[in-house]
């Protein structure tokens, strides 16, 4: 979840204005706003759940999704990826396209969001790609599956789902990660509350997390691993981002720089 990036404000403004009175106040009902350039998923008119470029459906439009793909800096070729929160499927589509060797599981508890997935060009379910209607926290608590990467971006109309913020949930994430696995969480909202969540994560994981603040200050992306990957030397991480950028059309160099800036601040 994020606010609309500046590139999309003008193109969505007229349509959004017309739809606001009609849709605001509904009980978290997802709806779509379209312009000539973008298609957006909303629960209300205050924030965008997902944004898709109509001419390039796989492209990551909202900057925080690019930052979440920063897991590539620490796990370049994952074989298993689990995601909590489908939205418009931006991360799911990107991973399906650019990481064809990965098995991808998307957990979404809102059937009405899943019902809109075809409108956002989300791939159909297959042997290596599956969107499952399920509560992500309950699924991870009960499963014996292991994943290389966990991406958590689960929001309702009221904000981040409460079941995705508990110490028990973070313990489930830890248990579901492979030995060199990485957990990435999108936090959107009060920085102080996000700090509380980070402290919970640090109590659960053996290695400290890094919370990267997005340039627009609206989102914070947390990275935590089950090994020393987050301690990769700065020079090596920048070289890795340059190499990965040859295959990925996302701002990995920016993500690496923001990550290193925050890591340096945390070390003080």
pLDDT tens, 61-91?
999 999 999 999 999 999 999 999 999 999 9
Residue with tokens 């340059």: 242
Q: Which ranges of 99-230 would DSSP assign to H, the alpha helix?
A: 111-114, 136-142, 167-176, 191-204
Q: Tell me the pLDDT of the chain averaged across its residues.
A: 88
Beta bridge partners of 185: 152, 222
In a domain, 74, yes or no: yes
The reply to whether 40 and 145 lie within a common domain is: no
Domain co-membership, 146 together with 18: no
**Contact criterion met (CB below 8 Å) for 135 and 156:** no
> Per residue in 26-60, pLDDT tens?
556 888 988 889 999 887 666 677 899 999 999 99
Q: Is the same domain home to 34 and 158?
A: no
Structure tokens at 65: 């999704």
Does any domain span residue 37? yes
Instruction: Calculate Rg over the CA atoms of the chain.
Output: 18
- The verdict on residue 1 lying in a domain is no
Determine, yes or no, domain membership for 58: no
| Half-sphere exposure of residue 73: CA atoms within 13 angstroms, side-chain side | 35
The burial class, CB within 10 Å (0-12 / 13-18 / 19+), for 180 is middle
Quick one: 142 and 124 in the same domain?
yes
Please state, in angstroms and rounded to a whole number, the distance separating the CA atoms of residues 72 and 125. Answer: 24
Predicted confidence at residue 162, as pLDDT, reads 85
168/113 same-domain check: yes
- Evaluate whether residue 174 is within a structural domain: yes
34 and 76 share a domain?
A: no
Across residues 136-141, what is the average pLDDT?
97
Is 43 in the same domain as 91? Answer: no
**43 & 109 share domain:** no
Residues 93 and 215 reside in one and the same domain: yes
Identify the domain containing residue 17 by its residue range: 6-53
What's the total number of domains in the chain? 2
Residues 17 and 123 in one domain: no
**Is residue 101 domain-shared with residue 13, that is, in the same domain?**
no
Strands 147-152 and 80-84: parallel
Geometric angle at alpha carbon 44, from 140 and 92, rounded to 5°: 40
Q: Which pLDDT tens digit goes with each residue over 194-228?
A: 899 999 999 999 899 999 988 777 789 999 999 99
Among 29-33, 144-148, 158-162, 240-244, whose mean pLDDT is lowest? 158-162
Question: Which residues are known to be catalytic?
Answer: 153
In the sheet with 31-34, reading across from the earlier edge strand, the strands are 31-34, 38-44, 47-53
- 42 in the same domain as 84: no
* Angle (CA) 143 209 141, round 5°: 15
More confident residue, 192 or 95: 95
pTM of the model: 0.89
């Amino acid at each position: 979840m994020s606010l609309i990036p500046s590139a999309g404000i003008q193109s969505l403004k007229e349509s959004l204005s017309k739809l606001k009175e009609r849709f605001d106040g509904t009980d978290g009902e997802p709806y779509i706003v379209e312009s000539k350039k973008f298609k957006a998923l909303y629960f209300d008119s205050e924030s965008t759940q997902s944004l898709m470029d109509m001419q390039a459906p796989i492209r990551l439009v909202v900057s925080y999704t690019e930052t979440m793909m920063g897991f590539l800096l620490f796990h370049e070729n994952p074989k298993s990826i689990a995601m909590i929160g489908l939205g418009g499927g931006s991360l799911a589509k990107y991973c399906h396209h650019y990481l064809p060797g990965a098995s991808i599981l998307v957990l979404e508890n809102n059937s009405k969001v899943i019902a809109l997935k075809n409108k956002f060009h989300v791939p159909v379910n297959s042997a290596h790609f599956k969107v499952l209607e399920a509560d992500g926290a309950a699924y991870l608590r009960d499963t014996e599956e292991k994943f290389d990467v966990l991406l958590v971006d689960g929001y309702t109309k009221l904000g981040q789902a409460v079941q995705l913020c508990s110490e028990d949930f973070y313990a489930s994430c830890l248990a579901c990660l492979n030995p060199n696995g990485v957990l990435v969480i999108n936090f959107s909202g009060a920085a102080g509350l996000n700090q509380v969540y980070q402290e919970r994560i640090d109590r659960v994981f053996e290695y400290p997390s890094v919370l990267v603040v997005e340039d627009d200050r609206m989102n914070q992306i947390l990275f935590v691993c089950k090994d020393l990957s987050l301690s990769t030397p700065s020079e090596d991480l920048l070289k890795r981002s340059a190499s990965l950028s040859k295959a990925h059309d996302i701002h990995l160099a920016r993500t690496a720089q923001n990550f290193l800036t925050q890591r340096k601040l945390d070390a003080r």
